[in-house]
Structure 1
Amino acid sequence: MKILILCTGNSCRSQMAHGFLQSFDPKLEVYSAGTEASGKLNEKAVQVMSETGIDISHHTSDSVEQYLNDEWDYVITVCGGANESCPTFSGKVKHRIHIGFDDPSHAQGTDEFIWSEFHRVRDEIKERFFQFYQQLQQ
């Protein structure tokens, strides 16, 4: 099964979702991309994922352009709030779904609050993508 996780910057939420989904089943072909890929990973996302035992530091922030000619079983958008518009995917895909999350990289306030947002969103991503994975198994 081939899955693309799509967002705007491909530095945080899509990378965490990619890491979790791949950890649930290494046989899945999981990729992530962004419509405006930042070219780098968010260091806080890398750190909160490492706390769960998942290393995403080797991931790359890729443009969706490189995946448009591929065929996908699922394309999953992960953008969140009303201030964000989810990217569209014009490639060949069997199922398009949306599982939205707040962007912790936009959190403002104390360091403690910002880290709490990264942990909260990470845990939400793990839970929602595990539910998605369980549905795939049915």
Structure 2
Amino acid sequence: MKKKVAFVCVHNSCRSQMAEGWAKKLGSDVLEVYSAGTEEYPEVKPKAVQVMEEAGVDMSEHHPKLLTDIPEEIDILVTMGCNVVCPYVPCKHSEDWGLEDPSGGPIEGFRETRDIVKKKVEELIQRVKRGEL
């Protein structure tokens, strides 16, 4: 049975969207993937969409979602390093990845974040496959 994983940050416009994109591409065999934010935001950051497209992940149809848009109970909650207290989300396991938000910076920062997120998603998938999560 697939594990439900939710990637959460404040706006669901960059880091959590990247994590959702990578997890769907790389872990769809073991993960049911969601992402959400704690505050409304109008769009996924264009630079985030661009750098993911460069890596072969299409996020052109992604849009920011809120916590109310994901299942009430999930298996794994991953926060991105929002520097805020996230609302309580019932889950079996939670962790914070402590990622800097590249928003407002140069495209290189988005690429660096994309690559870090990919590595962390790959590690998460391996832990799920090993039965650790």
CA RMSD of superposed structures (Å): 1.5
Indicate the percent of aligned positions where both proteins have the same amino acid.
Answer: 35
> For residues 84 and 74 of structure 2, what CA distance do their matches in structure 1 show?
18
Distance 1:59 1:87, change over 3 A: farther
TM-score (norm 1): 0.85
Deviations 1:64-89 (A, max 9, x none): 1333x62100110012xxxx524423
**Bigger shift: 116-125 or 19-28?**
19-28
Equivalent pairs counted in the alignment come to: 127
Shift of residue 48, structure 1, vs aligned partner: 0.2
Deviations 1:2-60 (A, max 9, x none): 11100001000000011001111223211100001313110000000001110011112
2:68 is the counterpart of 1:48: no
Structure 1: tracts of 5 or more residues without a match: 108-113
> For residues 59 and 51 of structure 2, what CA distance do their matches in structure 1 show?
10
TM-score (norm 2): 0.88
2:116 is the counterpart of 1:124: yes
> Structure 1 stretches (4+) deviating beyond 4 angstroms?
none
Shift of residue 129, structure 1, vs aligned partner: 1.4
Match of 1:93 in 2: 91
> For residues 52 and 86 of structure 1, what CA distance do their matches in structure 2 show?
30
> For residues 137 and 86 of structure 1, what CA distance do their matches in structure 2 show?
30
> For residues 128 and 84 of structure 2, what CA distance do their matches in structure 1 show?
23
State the secondary structure of the residue aligned to 2:11. coil
Match of 2:72 in 1: 70
State the secondary structure of the residue aligned to 1:24. helix
